[in-house]
Amino acid sequence: NAGVTQTPKFQVLKTGQSMTLQCAQDMNHEYMSWYRQDPGMGLRLIHYSVGAGITDQGEVPNGYNVSRSTTEDFPLRLLSAAPSQTSVYFCASSWNRRNTEAFFGQGTRLTVV
Amino acid sequence: KQEVTQIPAALSVPEGENLVLNCSFTDSAIYNLQWFRQDPGKGLTSLLLIQSSQREQTSGRLNASLDKSSGRSTLYIAASQPGDSATYLCAALSSNDYKLSFGAGTTVTVRA
């Protein structure tokens, strides 16, 4: 059982480039979300989805885009990378939004130069 | 806006000592509180989840308590081992908007 799989594990981008961080889960979870983790701060919610075709913004959505065409996949797109987006990105999933354990991917360490 | 705080940011103890990790939150309107473990360069692994109606939850050497009215949760790790060295994060799930708010974590080092 793979759980939550994120790719790539590491990425270096130049300012202005775009890219997509991939996230897939094989647990048939309804709820998926993206977080960023910066030193000394808690994880911050970027975007989330409560099911296929439904997405919404979190705490820090600017500069990021998401879509959810299937239950399994929830990619995160950086539209035009900026140094402020240098961070570690985590994808998570759970059965639904309430009262359930969250499962996290291994993370993507992104550096924007 | 929910604010979650974990103090101290880092802790070093000798092997065998019991660990006490603190988590405080400002808004008591929560569905649950989760404790996670994060190893360097890895993702988060869920350790314990306490529902808002519960006072504590136990798993092996781990015990977590929740006091909603005072906005506090505590994770106890009995008889610590070097393998317990990691960063421990707590997260509160809001019952208003169903969003998880995370603390910045406590980094634990257990010395052999």
Residue B20 is which amino acid? V
- Chain A contact for B111 (CB, 8 A cutoff): no
* Tens-digit pLDDT profile for residues B45-97: 999 999 999 999 999 999 999 999 999 999 999 999 999 999 999 999 999 88
Cα–Cα distance for residue pair A59/A44, rounded to 1 Å: 6
* Tens-digit pLDDT profile for residues A87-101: 999 999 999 887 678
Instruction: Identify the sign of the CA torsion A51, A53, A59, A65.
Output: positive
Beta carbons within 8 Å of B52's beta carbon, 6+ residues apart: B30, B31, B32, B33, B66, B68, B95
In angstroms, the separation between the Cα of residue A18 and the nearest Cα of chain B is 24
Residues B83, B88, B92: CA angle, nearest 5 degrees? 150
- Chain B contact for A43 (CB, 8 A cutoff): yes
Share of chain B above pLDDT 90, in %: 93
- Cross-strand bridge partners of residue B72: B24, B67
- Chain A contact for B105 (CB, 8 A cutoff): yes
Flag residues of chain A having pLDDT under 70: 1, 99
CB contact (8 A) between residue B43 and residue A90:
yes
